[in-house]
Amino acid sequence: MADLAIHTENLTKVYRGDLGKRPIVALDGLNCDVERGEVFAFIGPNGAGKTTTIKLLTRLLRPTNGRIFILGVENKSHNSMERVGYLPELPNMYGYLSGREFLDFIARIFKLDFKERKRRVSQLLERVGLEKSSDVAIRNYSRGMLQRLGLAQALINDPELLILDEPMSGLDPIGRKDFRDLILQLRDQGKTIFFSSHILSDAEMIADRVGILNKGRLINIGKLDDLTSSHITSVDVTFRVESDALSRVDTKKYKTVIRDQNVMVRLNDSKEVNELVKSIERWGGQIISVIPQRKSLEEIFMTEVGR
Amino acid sequence: MRVCTVALNTFKESIRNRVLLNILIFAVGLILLSLVIGDWSIYQQVKVIKDFGLSAMSIFGLLIAIFIGIRLVVQELEQRTIYIIASKPIRRWEIVIGKYLGLSLTLAVNVIIMTLVLLCTNYITEGIIDFGLLPAVVLIYIEILLIVGFSLFFSSFAAPTLSAVLTLAVFVIGHLSGFLRDYIEVYPDRGYHWLLKIIYYIAPNLEALNLKMAVVENLKQPPHALLYGIVYGTAYLLVVLIVTAAVFHRRDLK
Amino acid sequence: MRGALKKISVVSVLLLLCFIVNWTQRTMDRYRSIKFVDKRVIFLPKGEVLKYLSMGYRGLMGDWLWIRSVLYYGRRVVDEDNPYYQYALKKGEREEPLVSVSSQVSAAADTLLQIREELKHILYKAESRGLVDYIYPMLDRVTSVDPHFVFPYIFGGLYVLMDTGEVDQAQKLLEKGYRANPDRWEFPFYLGWIHWMYREDLEKTVKYLLEAVKKKECPSYVGNLLAGLSMKLGYKESTLLYLKTMINSTDNPEIRKQLEEVLEKISKNR
């Protein structure tokens, strides 16, 4: 189990209902493993329980049932957070401090000594692009600056595991690209990244594994490729023929789109690819590309959640 | 220590807080105003100045307890700044006690400033520096700390308005405990004395921390009134803080 | 031009409103009658209740009530219709001495006795003005809230008494103060004064003065007064006896010294 960054057993969170109302089950028996060194995306619709899960992992909430292991240690003690970095959704920090002062404050919580604090704070401010605003009061920060400062404080202790709740929210496209690059960089350094998002394209771009949560239950989990490859909708084959050979193309059998000498055929079944390739050879054509159209994560998501 | 880190941070916050500064100016103003009002009271100027000064300090502390003491925890929860700090390797009680200590430090500085102003106004009228006022000041400070402790306790589980009302209720009950005790003594047992006695011993006896009258009129006090007051106040305070830490420990930070 | 006109009209409306507010306030003030103020104290709770109501700020509450009493009193007494005020004004111009009311008092009457009669002459009862109904209940509240605040007792027991002649209430107030502050010399002294001046009960006067002399910081003129009185009025022997017993019973060297001084004065004045 020590090689798992996160391990939950039957993690359940039930809230007492308001007067007269039934109790609310925010999370129902979550069993989820996140391996070390991977980027894990936790996706689901609003209210699915993503934030609840993350708050349970970071000791902000107590589980009604079940156990949580962070980096091999059960997270009952505050010490289990020593090697973890957490970025909450839409993070907010003390307005009366400057960015630098705030990072220094967090660094002190980790009991870093004076020299180390100074070094890391400056380094991180530069890395997230906030050196210019480091002495501005946080109350004057924009949303994007807050997000970046939030990431900086999550990295202050050089954590092995990063837990990010909707990390890209509030960022412009450039910011998001920087963020994605940063996450991949961190992954390359050997860190584990666990993040939740409802922006599926982001998840698609960087995640190794994905977990889909709905109404407090984990309905699907697995490698991104596996999830999407099982949902190949069609294959687009593009090839080129000499103009005089065009007539040989069997347009009755295949749906074709022809432009100049380029022919694109959409096959509904990946099994037909081999046959088509042989046909193209016969027609004397040159294959330009064979692209399987996977169901996007979004479409998978819609189907799974709709169930 | 992590508690000190949080405490110093809270101290920094209070220093940069305008509300605190305004209330301090108000209290100092009151003390200076007593120079004028003292004039109206035929020959009693010294008494009025001392009464005013000590009362201003006490009221100041109460205002701080209600406005800032409650805000201490509630603001963190409302503005969601608590998430970042509570997810760090820090115990819950270190967070809440750290904040309390930071506020206590701020209050100590403020009380010292007001005491100096009071001693000055007293010097202006009476011509001497009356160190006899200091025991009352010490107990006023402890009373303030106790009220702040209560406001912190209530705000760790109740909404801000309710916490303010409850803190005020504690203040009222604390000062009326003498009435309760007198009532029990004066009226024959009506069957529910045991209940009144329980309430009397549980409620914080703020009159035990009240030397204002005694100090101004140089009354004979029971021996070690100051010492007993300090012990009572501190012990009660520790009870409140421990319970608060326990409540905060179990609390879900939604 | 439209913009300027608008600004001018807004400003003039504001000025007009301010003037109206001010004018109505002044008009209302003119018609305010002092009479309505008289019965105010009825709405204040009793002293015992105020004691608890002050939530620990008893000194402050006592001061506030005291200041209210003083301001009210000053406003009422230092008032053009008050004959005492008129007398005080005229005193400067007066040439012949005041005529003693009871001229039957023997020619050998002491200066003290003569002054007593003169003082009675200038007493002014201000009951009809409601002064008494307000001031004594107020002082009662002040002293209940802050029982060790000495001056209000003396104010009610002496100054107000001289203005209003309310002997019973003054005496009650002084007795209350004496009970609460048994170590102060002022209370037995002024009680002695009342018994001598108004009650003409010389036995009680001497008794109170004897008690006053025992207290800390009692000024020497009290001892002188006691000496003079007891001698003039034939109480010398019993006074000497009292003093001797007291000297023997007290351990405090200061008090003992005071008492011995008085004893000496009385013994000397044969």
**Average pLDDT over chain C, rounded to whole?**
74
pLDDT value at C126 more than 60: no
Is residue C1, in this structure, part of any structural domain at all?
no
Structural contact between residues C184 and C149, judged by C-beta atoms closer than 8 angstroms: no
3-state helix, strand, coil in chain C (%, to 5): 75, 0, 25
Q: Which of the listed residues C154, C181, C208 is the one where a domain comes to its end?
A: C181
Output the 3-class SS for C108-131.
Answer: CCCHHHHHHHHHHHCCCCCHHHCH
pLDDT value at C238 more than 50: yes
**Average pLDDT over chain A, rounded to whole?**
86
Percent of chain B residues past pLDDT 70, beyond the cut: 99
Q: Give domain A4-228's CATH architecture.
A: 3-Layer(aba) Sandwich (3.40)
Q: How do residues B51-68 score in pLDDT, each as one tens digit? A: 888 988 898 888 888 888
Q: Which of the listed residues C181, C204, C226 is the one where a domain comes to its end?
A: C181
pLDDT value at C99 more than 50: no
Are chains A and B in touch, 3+ Cβ pairs below 8 Å? yes
- Identify the band that residue A115 occupies on the pLDDT scale cut at 50, 70 and 90: very high
Per-domain boundaries in chain B: 2-250
CA angle A176, A178, A183 (to 5 degrees): 95
pLDDT value at A206 more than 50: yes
Q: Does C57 share its domain with C161?
A: yes
Q: Does C260 share its domain with C192?
A: yes
Contacts of A96 in chain B (CB under 8 A): 12-13, 16-17
Q: Greater confidence, B15 or A60?
A: A60
The span from the CA of B58 to the CA of B43, in Å, is: 25
A143: left (phi over 0), alpha (psi -120 to 50) or beta: alpha
The span from the CA of A162 to the CA of A84, in Å, is: 6
Q: Does C51 share its domain with C138?
A: yes
The span from the CA of B187 to the CA of B176, in Å, is: 17
Is residue C7, in this structure, part of any structural domain at all?
no
Residue C245 structure tokens: 């017993």
Query: Residue C111 has what pLDDT?
Result: 58
Is residue C16, in this structure, part of any structural domain at all?
no
Domain range spanning residue C253?
A: 184-270
The span from the CA of A155 to the CA of A123, in Å, is: 11
Mean pLDDT of C125-139: 69
Verify whether the Cβ–Cβ distance C56 to B172 is below 8 Å: no
Query: Residue A174 has what pLDDT?
Result: 84
Q: Greater confidence, A81 or C210?
A: A81
Query: Residue C44 has what pLDDT?
Result: 80
| CB atoms closer than 10 angstroms to residue A233 | 14
Query: Residue C56 has what pLDDT?
Result: 85
Picking from A238, A288, A293, the residue whose alpha carbon sits closest to that of residue A263 is A238
Is residue C139, in this structure, part of any structural domain at all?
yes
Q: How do residues A218-235 score in pLDDT, each as one tens digit? A: 888 888 777 666 666 778
Query: Residue C104 has what pLDDT?
Result: 33
Strands A192-197 vs A65-70: parallel, antiparallel or unpaired: unpaired
Verify whether the Cβ–Cβ distance B254 to A61 is below 8 Å: yes
Q: Which of the listed residues C181, C202, C232 is the one where a domain comes to its end?
A: C181
pLDDT value at C130 more than 90: no
Q: Does C80 share its domain with C199?
A: no
Residue A74, classed as helix, strand or coil, is: strand
Least confident stretch, B22-26, B86-90, C60-64, C231-235: C231-235
The span from the CA of A119 to the CA of A185, in Å, is: 20
Contacts of A117 (CB under 8 A, 6+ apart): A104, A107, A108
The span from the CA of C10 to the CA of C14, in Å, is: 6
Least confident stretch, A94-98, A135-139, A170-174, C249-253: C249-253
Least confident stretch, A1-10, A83-92, C6-15, C16-25: A1-10
- Identify the band that residue C34 occupies on the pLDDT scale cut at 50, 70 and 90: very low
The span from the CA of C134 to the CA of C166, in Å, is: 13
Mean pLDDT of C112-120: 56
Least confident stretch, A50-64, B196-210, B218-232, C71-85: C71-85
ipTM of the complex: 0.84
pLDDT value at C108 more than 50: no
A-chain residue closest to B13, CA distance: A96
Q: Does C145 share its domain with C188?
A: no
Give phi and psi for A15, each to the nearest 5.
Answer: -105, 140
Q: For residue A187, what is the enclosing H or E element?
A: helix A173-188
Q: Greater confidence, A106 or A243?
A: A106
Query: Residue C175 has what pLDDT?
Result: 94
Per-domain boundaries in chain A: 4-228, 233-294
pLDDT value at C153 more than 90: yes
Q: Greater confidence, A182 or B190?
A: A182
Contacts of B37 in chain C (CB under 8 A): 67
Q: Does B185 touch chain C (CB under 8 A)?
A: no
Contacts of C139 in chain B (CB under 8 A): none
Query: Residue C78 has what pLDDT?
Result: 57
pLDDT value at C114 more than 80: no
Query: Residue B102 has what pLDDT?
Result: 93
Amino acid identity for residue C165 in this structure: G
Query: Residue C97 has what pLDDT?
Result: 41
Verify whether the Cβ–Cβ distance A79 to B85 is below 8 Å: no
Q: Greater confidence, B101 or B214?
A: B101
- Which residue do the tokens 């001797």 mark? C244
Q: Greater confidence, B119 or A297?
A: B119
B77 to chain C, closest Cα gap in Å: 33
Q: How do residues C168-207 score in pLDDT, each as one tens digit? A: 889 999 999 999 999 898 899 989 888 887 887 878 888 8
Verify whether the Cβ–Cβ distance B2 to A82 is below 8 Å: no
Least confident stretch, A166-170, B151-155, B247-251: A166-170
**CATH assignment at residue C232:** 1.25.40
pLDDT value at A188 more than 60: yes
Verify whether the Cβ–Cβ distance C67 to B43 is below 8 Å: no
pLDDT value at C105 more than 60: no
Mean pLDDT of B141-168: 92
C-chain residue closest to B180, CA distance: C52
Query: Residue A103 has what pLDDT?
Result: 95
Q: Does C44 share its domain with C163?
A: yes
Is the CATH code 3.30.70 the one for domain A233-294?
A: yes
Residue C214 structure tokens: 């025992």
